[in-house]
Amino acid sequence: MDLVISIFEQGLIFAIIAMGVYITYKILDFPDLSVDGTYPLGAAITATLIASGINPLLAMLVSIMAGAAAGLVTGLIHVKLKVRDLLSGIITMTALYSVNLHIAGRANLPIFNTTTIFNNGIVNTIFPGFLEPYKTLIIIFIVALLAKLLLDWYLKTKSGYLLRAVGDNPAVVTSLASDKGTIKIIGLMISNGLVALAGSVMCQQQRFFEVQMGIGTIVIGLASVIIGITLFRKLRMVKPTTAVAVGSILYKACVALAITYGLSATDMKLVTAVLFLIILVIAMERRTRRKKLA
Amino acid sequence: MLSLEHIYKTYNIGTINETCIFEDFNLAIEDGEFVSVVGSNGSGKTSLLNIICGTIDVDSGNTLINGVDITRMDDFKRYRKIGRVYQNPAMGSCSEMTILENLSMADNKGKSFNLKPGTDKRRIDFYRDNLRQLGLGLEDKLNATVGSLSGGQRQALALLMSTMTPIEFLILDEHTASLDPKVAETIMELTDRIVRDKGVTTIMVTHNLRYATSYGSRLIMMHEGKIILDIKGDEKSRTTIEDLLGIFNRISIECGN
């Protein structure tokens, strides 16, 4: 039972990352590696702020804004300096490693016994005894659901339409007298804001920040997106945001099973990589997207 | 009034593939004109459109709209006044979005793309009426993704989208070339109707000499970056396909083809 709860907790936190990666990878067709830096960025900021007694909700808000700012940097490097998409993300990711260390002040910052969204006066009293083991899961679920609903809403706005259009057919955006570069930057900001939010939640759930925690974030995000989208390809009523969230939980379940049945935690990244490869091959993701025009 | 003044454009400058397209090219198009542009491949027709729309930069010379110099203006800003339909029907709409979503975006051109709902429900009837006029049955498929439509349907939609909001110039880049003859005919008639209804200044590049002679108020033939024929009014209506073919053949012989 503990294992199942843990899978759902981890899966739902990574569902937020998957939604961010869905924006860049699926909508914008932009393989954004910044997330490997913005995920721990959210955690570093949250750990630092919470350790100094700041309200955890405020810490989450600051994390989102910092993530969005990092997305803005990636976007500006790509759009204004005309650096290739993959490289723009790598530059931001690399720079953020140092930034994260500076923010936290060290490579590992624990926040045990502090006020977090999982441990505060309100949630400690409203949850009745029998729900206590699920408290963390329920709170994560609410955060993930809010993120999903917000993103669903945004994608239905005028601005959201343009975001979808720019990945679909940039020529249409130009002919609508809109700057496709600006739209891409907005997409990267939302994406990285979400990823930093996930980092903030993860940091509060595991009660520490660790500078290495970002490594492989993009792989897990991509795997979740690809599992989700492939699984629900035929069902148009399932929103992509829901699909990638389910993908994320399934992915975490696969990794957890692999670890439970014999593989050590040391093999974690190896399992992650091999699993990702298997998913890629099964999903036949090999350039099924029509070659982009223009 | 659109004018191109002393345009110079050379591709791949300084390389073995250096190709001069325009050398002191000049063209003025009056408001309300419907100009057909014909010419062999490589004569500079599409480059001309790309220069007008800002898709490619010129080496020197000026592009002016109503006397205002737009030579250095970003392409997307020019599209506030320009609508464009491409040869490839897929270029004019977003395939993974629905007809309704595509039309909603087109309808919002020139306004802010903000956080209001992407589709204004009060406009749906208006979209449906517009689609009905195309006569392709699209009015019943508002929620179908555009990727599922045929080339002709997509091109009709692209035409509708590019002319939905008030524009000053309509740029048609061989927009019937990739369609079968029957659908091409439909699209051409539709184009003519829209151009007449809106009175929009139109530049149509085409390889179809019949369209070039029977539609539009002015005809330009280009060859190697120069205008070798520019007729309008009675002179244009007297010109037949045979006349145009005659000129084509004469140029070809001069070029040694």
pLDDT tens for residues B3-44? 999 999 999 888 888 888 899 999 999 999 999 999 988 889
What is the pLDDT at residue B42?
84
Least confident of A8-22, A279-293, B209-223: A279-293
pLDDT greater than 60 at residue A8: yes
What is the pLDDT at residue A294?
35
The residue to which tokens 């969230």 are assigned: A245
What is the pLDDT at residue A275?
85
Q: Over chain B, what is the mean pLDDT?
A: 92
What is the pLDDT at residue B91?
95
Query: Which chain A residues are Cβ-neighbours of B80 within 8 angstroms?
Result: 177
Query: Which chain B residues are Cβ-neighbours of A294 within 8 angstroms?
Result: 91
- Which of B73, B91, B96 is the best residue to mutate to test the A interface, defined by the most A CB atoms within 10 Å of its own CB? B96
**Among residues of chain A, what percentage have pLDDT more than 90?**
76
Distance between CA atoms of residues B103 and B114, nearest Å: 16
- Which of B77, B94, B143, B162 is the best residue to mutate to test the A interface, defined by the most A CB atoms within 10 Å of its own CB? B94
> Is B114 in Cβ contact with A159 (below 8 Å)?
yes
Instruction: Say which CATH topology domain B2-255 has.
Output: Rossmann fold (3.40.50)
> Is A177 in Cβ contact with B109 (below 8 Å)?
yes
What is the pLDDT at residue A288?
52
Task: Give A47-60 pLDDT, tens digit per residue.
Answer: 999 999 999 999 99
What is the pLDDT at residue B254?
67
What is the pLDDT at residue A184?
97
What is the pLDDT at residue A135?
92
**Among residues of chain B, what percentage have pLDDT more than 70?**
98
Query: Which chain B residues are Cβ-neighbours of A159 within 8 angstroms?
Result: 113-115
Q: Would an 8 Å CB–CB cutoff place A174 in contact with chain B?
A: yes
Q: How far is B100 from chain A (nearest CA, A)?
A: 11
Nearest residue of A to residue B100, measured between CA atoms:
A161
B137: tokens are 């049955």
Distance between CA atoms of residues A216 and A201, nearest Å: 18
Residue of A191, A185, A256, A230 whose CA lies nearest to A10: A256
Supply the ipTM of this predicted assembly: 0.91
Q: What mean pLDDT comes out for the span A129-148? A: 93
Query: Which chain A residues are Cβ-neighbours of B117 within 8 angstroms?
Result: 156-158
Residue B255's pLDDT band, with cuts at 50, 70 and 90, is low
Q: Would an 8 Å CB–CB cutoff place A290 in contact with chain B?
A: yes
Residues of chain B that touch chain A, judged by Cβ-Cβ distance less than 8 Å: 74-77, 79-80, 82-84, 86, 88, 90-97, 101-102, 104-106, 108-110, 112-119, 162
Residue A83's pLDDT band, with cuts at 50, 70 and 90, is very high
Q: Would an 8 Å CB–CB cutoff place A68 in contact with chain B?
A: no
Q: How many CB pairs under 8 A join A and B?
A: 89
> Is A162 in Cβ contact with B105 (below 8 Å)?
yes
Among the partner-chain residues A157, A173, A179, the one whose CB lies closest to the CB of B117 is A157
Task: Give B129-188 pLDDT, tens digit per residue.
Answer: 999 988 899 999 999 999 999 999 999 999 999 999 999 999 999 999 999 999 899 999
Query: Which chain B residues are Cβ-neighbours of A187 within 8 angstroms?
Result: none
Q: Over chain A, what is the mean pLDDT?
A: 92
> Is B75 in Cβ contact with A169 (below 8 Å)?
no
Alpha carbon B77 to its chain's center: 17
**Residues in Cβ contact with B37 at an 8 Å cutoff, skipping those fewer than 6 apart:** B45, B48, B203, B204, B205, B206, B212, B220, B221, B222
Task: Give A84-135 pLDDT, tens digit per residue.
Answer: 999 999 999 999 999 999 999 999 999 998 999 999 888 888 887 788 889 9
pLDDT greater than 50 at residue A247: yes
Q: What mean pLDDT comes out for the span B45-61? A: 94
What is the pLDDT at residue A291?
44
What is the pLDDT at residue A285?
53
The size of chain A, in residues, is 294
- Which of A159, A166, A175, A229 is the best residue to mutate to test the B interface, defined by the most B CB atoms within 10 Å of its own CB? A175
> Is A174 in Cβ contact with B76 (below 8 Å)?
yes
Inter-residue long-range contacts of A49-56, CB under 8 Å, 24+ positions, other chains counted: A50/A111, A50/A114, A50/A115, A50/A116, A50/A204, A51/A109, A51/A111, A51/A114, A53/A115, A55/A115, A56/A115, A56/A116, A56/A117, A56/A120, A56/A204
Among the partner-chain residues A158, A162, A164, the one whose CB lies closest to the CB of B116 is A158
Domain boundaries, chain B: 2-255
What is the pLDDT at residue A290?
46
What is the pLDDT at residue B146?
96
Nearest residue of B to residue A164, measured between CA atoms:
B97
Query: Which chain B residues are Cβ-neighbours of A169 within 8 angstroms?
Result: 90-91, 93-95
Residue of B46, B40, B47 whose CA lies nearest to B11: B47
pLDDT greater than 60 at residue A289: no
**Residues in Cβ contact with A100 at an 8 Å cutoff, skipping those fewer than 6 apart:** A37, A40, A41, A43, A44, A211, A214
Among left, alpha and beta (phi > 0; psi -120 to 50; other), residue B171 is beta
Among the partner-chain residues A158, A169, A175, the one whose CB lies closest to the CB of B118 is A158
Q: What mean pLDDT comes out for the span B100-116? A: 96
Q: Is the distance from CB of A30 to CB of A200 less than 8 angstroms?
A: no
Residue B256's pLDDT band, with cuts at 50, 70 and 90, is low
